[in-house]
Amino acid sequence: MIGASHIQVGVDLDVFAEYFNGSKPIQLGIPQSTFVPVLEDLAEDKSFNGIVICNGIEYLLLLESKNIPKLSDEYVAFYNNMRFVDVIDQYIAMRLQKTLVLFLSALNPLDIARKLGDREWPVQHIVMADDRSIKADYSMIDIQQYRKNRIKSQLGLYPSAKDTNEIFILNIRRIENAVKKIQERGGRVIIVRFPTSGPLLKMEQRHMPREKYWDYWAAHTSAIMIHFEDYPALAGFQCADYVHIDHRDSPAFTRALATIIKEKMGSQGQLKK
């Protein structure tokens, strides 16, 4: 599982494993980051011939034109240069973050001071497990204010009239090059467009029309493309903050997605267009 936070929040790994003989996926999602560097790294690993499920988001393929850190590049570089001591350090850090309340981001001293100044009590509505999956409980926060902030921040991610399609097309080519390498070894690549809802869906349709971006992508790849709008079982989910699925809905969403992926793979494990 690679991509942004949508795949970390939306997919319940244990439920997904029930549909694939108990094989639990490895979660490699990175919040607000393109999956391209991770896919390319897997493509260069000649020992890898498994199934990659990518969280495909069109505007994240335009990151080079935005002032957003490319975290996936940093993660890949860190992984490829890890020393044994880094592995031990990471193991200890994950266990501490899971068990010590002081590691919760909501208890960051600066955040606490800001919230108390606004007469708010800090809450932790998202929790990352040690398998890197995330549970998000949006009932714990002021969802209306959160949605307003989401809309405001999201507007800066869409292409403007000054942007060109060159970066988008270049990334589509990079993705297809990696897809071919993996599939030539017997692996499979599936790209999933996770749900967006409410005003943000209308904004996406206006700023990044499907025929210009997603449909172009689908026409220039040998990967299997799954867009939530094409499947009633996926399109019916409403995202609490317009882009992420609440943890109460993630098991049902995972079942729907796993069923579609199994159908695409076919009875012999071969993907079907």
Q: How far apart are CA 92 and CA 76, in angstroms?
A: 20
- Residue 111's pLDDT band, with cuts at 50, 70 and 90, is low
Query: What tokens does 251 get?
Result: 């098991």
Helix-, strand-, coil-residue percentages of the chain, each rounded to 5 = 55, 10, 40
Q: Is 52 in contact with 188 (CB distance < 8 Å)?
A: yes
Q: How many CB atoms lie within 10 A of CB 222?
A: 12
pLDDT at 63: 66
pLDDT at 125: 78
pLDDT at 162: 62
How much is the mean pLDDT over the chain?
83
pLDDT at 106: 47
Q: How far apart are CA 264 and CA 192, in angstroms?
A: 12
The answer to which of 77-81, 83-87, 99-103 has the lowest mean pLDDT is 99-103
Rounded to an integer, the average pLDDT of 214-233 is 96
How many helical (H) and strand (E) elements, i.e. helices and strands, does the chain have?
12, 5
Q: What is the pTM of this model?
A: 0.82
pLDDT at 77: 82
The answer to which of 116-125, 129-138, 236-245 has the lowest mean pLDDT is 116-125
Q: Which residue has the higher pLDDT, 247 or 84?
A: 247
pLDDT at 145: 87
C-alpha pair distances (Å), 152 with each of 25, 156, 157, 163: 33, 7, 10, 19
Residue range 178-189, pLDDT digits in tens: 999 999 999 999
| pLDDT beyond 60 at 66 | no
Residue range 193-222, pLDDT digits in tens: 999 999 999 999 998 999 999 999 999 999
Q: How far apart are CA 192 and CA 180, in angstroms?
A: 17
Nearest partner of 141 among 241, 251, 11, 12, judged by Cα: 241
pLDDT at 216: 94
Pinpoint the alpha helices (H) of the chain.
Answer: 5-10, 13-18, 36-44, 71-80, 84-99, 109-117, 143-155, 166-184, 198-207, 214-219, 232-235, 250-265
| pLDDT beyond 60 at 116 | no
Give the residue carrying structure tokens 């936070």.
5
pLDDT at 59: 86
- Which residues, 6+ apart, have CB-to-CB distance to 240 below 8 Å? 136, 138, 143, 246
| pLDDT beyond 70 at 98 | no
pLDDT at 73: 79
The answer to which of 47-56, 134-143, 173-182 has the lowest mean pLDDT is 134-143
pLDDT at 110: 52
The whole-angstrom distance between residue 172's C-alpha and the CA centroid of its chain comes to: 17
Q: Is 203 in contact with 237 (CB distance < 8 Å)?
A: no
Pinpoint the alpha helices (H) of 109-185.
Answer: 109-117, 143-155, 166-184
